[in-house]
Amino acid sequence: MATLKNNFCLMLLCFMMSLSVTFNIVVSNVAPAPSNWVGPVSPSYESYLANCASNLDPICGRDIYFAVFYGNTTVIEDCCDELVSDVGKVCHDDMTKFVLTKTKFKSTDVQILERSQKLWNHCVAVIQS
């Protein structure tokens, strides 16, 4: 079961990474690469992001993705718990920033970053109550 979960999370990450034909990214300053690095995704950064994604149940990963990037999904309490407790703020932000580098989302980056922060704050509040 864990292998299936990890494989689906890796597929979700690959799907997110393939949303565009552009492979140049600006890496977050909290990621393993230097903050001013621009270039193709390094294997260590891919591994880092895959590790982040593997901490989410596949359904939670899907719901969080659509809540952040499209604003059309509600994230349930269990998924909030996974996001906050298992993934963490740094991984959540880095995965969001990585997907934002794709051409498809560049025009809506401000809204996506706002939804990402709003979702994070919502999930923190939900698990603290």
Q: Is the pLDDT of residue 9 over 80?
A: no
How many percent of the chain have pLDDT more than 70? Answer: 68
Reported as a single tens digit per residue, the pLDDT across 72-90 is 999 999 999 999 999 999 9
Reported as a single tens digit per residue, the pLDDT across 28-80 is 333 444 343 445 567 888 899 999 999 999 999 999 999 999 999 999 999 99
Query: How many domains, in total, are found in the chain?
Result: 1
Cα-based torsion angle of the residue sequence 3, 100, 91, 81 in order, rounded to the nearest 10 degrees:
-80
Return the half-sphere exposure (C-beta side, CA atoms, 13 A cut-off) of residue 71.
11
Using CA atoms, how far residue 106 sits from 2, 65, 80, 98, 120, in Å, is: 34, 16, 26, 11, 21
Reported as a single tens digit per residue, the pLDDT across 85-116 is 999 999 999 999 998 887 788 788 999 999 99
* Structural domain span for residue 59: 2-128
